[in-house]
Structure 1
Amino acid sequence: MNIKMVLRSLGMILICEAIAMMPSLMVSFIYKDGTGVAFFYTIFILLVVGILCVIAVKPENKTIYTRDGFAIVAFGWIMISLFGALPFYLSGSIPSFIDCIFETVSGFTTTGSSILKEVETLPKAILFWRSFTHWIGGMGVLVLTMALFPITGTGAFQVMVAESPGPIPGKLVPKVANTAKILYAIYVLFTFAEIVLLVMAGLPLFDACIHTFGSVGTGGFSSRNTSISSFNNVLVEIIITMFTFMCGVNFSLYYQAIKGNFKAFLKDEEFRFYLAIVLGAILLISIDLCGNVFETIGESIRHSSFQVVTIITTTGYSSTDFNNWPIFSKVILFFLMFIGGCAGSTGGGMKVIRILLLMKSTKTELLRIIHPRGVYPVRIGNKVVEEKYVGEIKNYFFMYMLIFVIAVLVVSLDGFDMLTTLSSVAATLGNIGPGFSVVGPLGNYSEMSVLSKLVLSCAMLIGRLEIYPILLLSIPAFWKKVNI
């Protein structure tokens, strides 16, 4: 492993986090909420440590190997979470450092699970930083770092592969740094567009920013205790539904549309499957809710569409307390927690493409049983998917479910009901945010034990980083001095 390049890259990430924290410092000065000192000290610490790593470390070999990419991503996300928790702790907004870590990891991984019972009384700058972590983590911390400070040397693509939210990542253009800039340009465009629309819909600028960060980053932190339902604004719900749905789509399709290929959406099989799942879930839940929870079909469609889109995109905002919905509707939402958004989106979960490929792979296996000598390749669109990718997805699915089971066993020690235990793990591993029962849309994770909070924090990181970067750190062979 190229330790010096890993340390140098980590230094760049910390500098990038310091820069990302400056808007929160400005918000503190604007609102005079008394948190400026906490942000100033944190930024100072980040800059000192980051600059030392960049200046003091002089790598002779500037190649980033595959393992280096995974190490940079894993340690990078752990470090930004630890340093990112400092403003919460130093300002006194969250007294327990474990709770600070939980809240910060939840923010950066765009999970939106919270230990806070009351958020409306928090200082404005803390609320801003809490939601801005969604925006930073949505597209990827390493992608942001490469956009601002292109990682020198060869092998930078390995970093993007390790952080990429999907099984088969690719570059939009030959240079990785330019790909990062294109992705963030689209991301920033969506951000400004939603802020403007939410302000026009009646939200104050501060609230518009907070909920935009949560929407485009598919996070879910709100500035209100009862989330989006506190506004009771249909137009706001429509705007957030639209942008969360858009950000659950592979961003490479938007790049193709900008280049003039508008048919890319219709030709993309993953997008069509994603759209079918969303529309099907909305239809089923609307029928179930009409007459049981809401009196009219219009109100049923309003809330079912909002919850389906925010759950499948792993955003987790709520327009109503879906804890009170019939079990059929809650089961559908529970399954959506595992599916997640499309590959290359800001959404979490297993990703639509993996579910689609697993279904296609199952079909081909059945066909091989009927016709043993037949050749039945797995296809996405007109392209044949290599067997190794299908095998990797099967391994990923197994590991995802194994981690889910282990985490459920640990959290069950707290003695909560089955619905709370299962949904809390599903919601954190899938980066959703709210679950059901105690951790539902009007609840939080404050009653969890320290052990459960640490396990769920790990689950958030594992889910956001697609399992491998975190688990590889525990394998001895990963640390051997062999460049692969």
Structure 2
Amino acid sequence: MIHYKAIAKVMGGLLMLLGLLMLPGIAFSFYYKSGDHMPLIYSAFVSMAIGGLLFFSFSKEDQNIRKREGYLIVALSWIFMSIFGMLPYLVSGTLTNLSDAVFETVSGLTTTGASVLNDIEALPKGILFWRSMTQWIGGLGIIVLTVAIFPLLGIGGIELFVAESPGPTSDKLHPRIRETAKRLWYVYVGLTILCAGLYYIGGMDFYDAVNHSLTTLATGGFSTKNASMAYFDVPFIQYVAILFMFLAGTNFTVIYFGIMGKFDRVWKSDEFKAYVLVVALIIVGLTVPVFLASGFGFEKAFRDTAFQVVSLITTTGFVTADYTSFGHGLTILFFLLLFVGGCAGSTAGGIKFIRHLTFFKNTLLEFKRIVHPRAIVTLKINNERVTGKIITHIMIFLLIYLMVFVVGSVLLSIVGYDMLTSFGAVATCLGNVGPAIGNVGPLDNFSFFDPFTKVFLSAIMLLGRLELFTILVLFTPYFWRAN
């Protein structure tokens, strides 16, 4: 039996937290006199009022959250956050179309970075800050934050953490899950502050520095400028962005161990070593072709190559150059980066390096099994044996990911969009990246899609952000069948 009252209690806590996080934008609204403080106040009040009603109505519920409740809470929380998160857009009149508001909010919370806004710089400052805040909230997952600071919820947080944590693994820093969540958020907040400070030193004003630090650490890609990071054509700023996008795509557990000086734990991670090696090799391999195709100076070519490669692999989606103008071959290579993803346990979306590493290692070992059929060949990651159950899980994930990409692309083509646009839109939404190819390239946005397609792509974003299984399991009879 599913404990719906316990679920309602958690939903209430989440909505109260969401409302509180709307309040910082009010300060920017007053400071810049942008006149959007009332929509933010109203939206925050509605979110906290409804959240408080749910939370305190079921405050005496003390049932532990089991696996089924955990998955249901995670799926419902993103739906509820999307519904209430779009209130500032609708109330302020920034977005009057419901499908546009849904798309922009889901894109923010899932850290996709795709947008339907044609003139970002025309947005009032408070609403624009809330737009960036949605990505920061979704970056490491509001569920982890809630488990960390809402111990009064009286629930077993482990099931929420496992369901929410990006990637197939969730390394624990502390035996108590709440302490693990806290430490991850300390790292997240600390890196955000450091990134903002460096942006400010590099020449951004305080407002732009704060906004871009929020979306950089969230690997989200929302910018306060129509030209994205290309607006800040300053080497120092763009190299800072490359560094922090790379860090945001790293497993935060690895970063924590690095901060604590436990470098042996850092280099023990096979995924991190593969991440560093692959990113470096791709940057080195593409710099000369970009230099020859673009006509830029070598430093500019190297910087743009490194920026685009790191931005796409970590699913951040910032752009400093139109990679589709470098020729068809390079366009295809950059498109393929949409299917990479960062490390598990990072804020990045996509397939994740750990799955690619497991897949390729297992593929190589399969050849050994063919040659030596009687040999006992085991797959190891971080010097630990990977069970058959995990391998099967990863293989099924890759298959479903490919199926969703193909089916989604076919559906968009049937609706009437060209092949490149269909491939690009589904790939970038499923991987939570932002820019792609076709009519959704780095210089374009998603405003031309019809309302139904925008809602469909929003669903694809949620499916990708929650790692497929968290959503798809809800549509199986096994989930709803009584124990």
Distance of 2:415 and 2:284 partners within structure 1: 36
Indicate if the aligned counterparts of 1:288 and 1:328 stay in contact, CA closer than 8 A.
no
Match of 1:200 in 2: 201
Bigger mean CA deviation after superposition, 220-229 or 296-305: 296-305
1:198-277 maps to which residues of 2 (within 5 A)?
A: 198-277=199-278
Distance of 1:481 and 1:170 partners within structure 2: 31
Match of 1:36 in 2: 37
Task: Tell me the secondary structure at the aligned position of residue 306 of structure 1.
Answer: helix
TM-score, structure 2 as length reference:
0.97
Indicate if the aligned counterparts of 2:269 and 2:382 stay in contact, CA closer than 8 A.
yes
Q: CA deviation at 1:255?
A: 1.8
Letter paired with 2:181: A
Distance of 2:419 and 2:189 partners within structure 1: 40
Indicate if the aligned counterparts of 2:169 and 2:345 stay in contact, CA closer than 8 A.
no
Indicate if the aligned counterparts of 1:424 and 1:439 stay in contact, CA closer than 8 A.
yes
Distance of 1:296 and 1:32 partners within structure 2: 42
1:48-127 maps to which residues of 2 (within 5 A)?
A: 48-58=49-59, 61-127=62-128
* Alignment gaps of 5+ in structure 1: none
Distance of 1:31 and 1:67 partners within structure 2: 46
Q: CA deviation at 1:81?
A: 0.6
Q: CA deviation at 1:212?
A: 0.8
Q: CA deviation at 1:213?
A: 1.1
Alpha carbons of 1:60 and 1:134: their partners in 2 closer, same or farther (altered >3 Å)?
closer
Distance of 1:280 and 1:150 partners within structure 2: 44
Task: Tell me the secondary structure at the aligned position of residue 290 of structure 1.
Answer: helix
Structure 1 stretches of at least 4 aligned residues deviating more than 3 Å after TM superposition: 58-61, 151-155
1:244-393 maps to which residues of 2 (within 5 A)?
A: 244-393=245-394
Indicate if the aligned counterparts of 1:64 and 1:153 stay in contact, CA closer than 8 A.
no
Q: CA deviation at 1:95?
A: 1.1
Indicate if the aligned counterparts of 2:232 and 2:238 stay in contact, CA closer than 8 A.
no
Distance of 1:61 and 1:226 partners within structure 2: 50
Letter paired with 1:474: F
Letter paired with 1:217: A
Deviation string, structure 1 residues 262-290 (Cα, Å, up to 9, x no partner): 23332211011111111121122212112
Distance of 1:345 and 1:294 partners within structure 2: 35
Indicate if the aligned counterparts of 1:5 and 1:59 stay in contact, CA closer than 8 A.
no
1:437-452 maps to which residues of 2 (within 5 A)?
A: 437-452=438-453
1:146-161 maps to which residues of 2 (within 5 A)?
A: 146-150=147-151, 152-153=153-154, 155-161=156-162
Letter paired with 2:334: L
Letter paired with 2:95: I
Indicate if the aligned counterparts of 1:171 and 1:179 stay in contact, CA closer than 8 A.
yes
Alpha carbons of 1:65 and 1:98: their partners in 2 closer, same or farther (altered >3 Å)?
same
Deviation string, structure 1 residues 71-118 (Cα, Å, up to 9, x no partner): 000000110011000100110001101100100000010000001111
> Is 1:404 the counterpart of 2:440 in the alignment?
no
Distance of 1:243 and 1:190 partners within structure 2: 8
Letter paired with 1:370: V
Indicate if the aligned counterparts of 2:257 and 2:263 stay in contact, CA closer than 8 A.
yes
Q: CA deviation at 1:380?
A: 0.7
Indicate if the aligned counterparts of 2:99 and 2:452 stay in contact, CA closer than 8 A.
no
Q: CA deviation at 1:59?
A: 5.7
Match of 2:468 in 1: 467
* Alignment gaps of 5+ in structure 2: none
TM-score, structure 1 as length reference:
0.97
Letter paired with 1:294: G
Indicate if the aligned counterparts of 1:274 and 1:341 stay in contact, CA closer than 8 A.
yes
Distance of 1:332 and 1:438 partners within structure 2: 17
Distance of 2:96 and 2:416 partners within structure 1: 25
RMSD across aligned C-alpha pairs, in angstroms?
A: 1.4
Q: CA deviation at 1:2?
A: 1.5
Deviation string, structure 1 residues 161-219 (Cα, Å, up to 9, x no partner): 11110102132101111111101101111011011111110011111111111110000
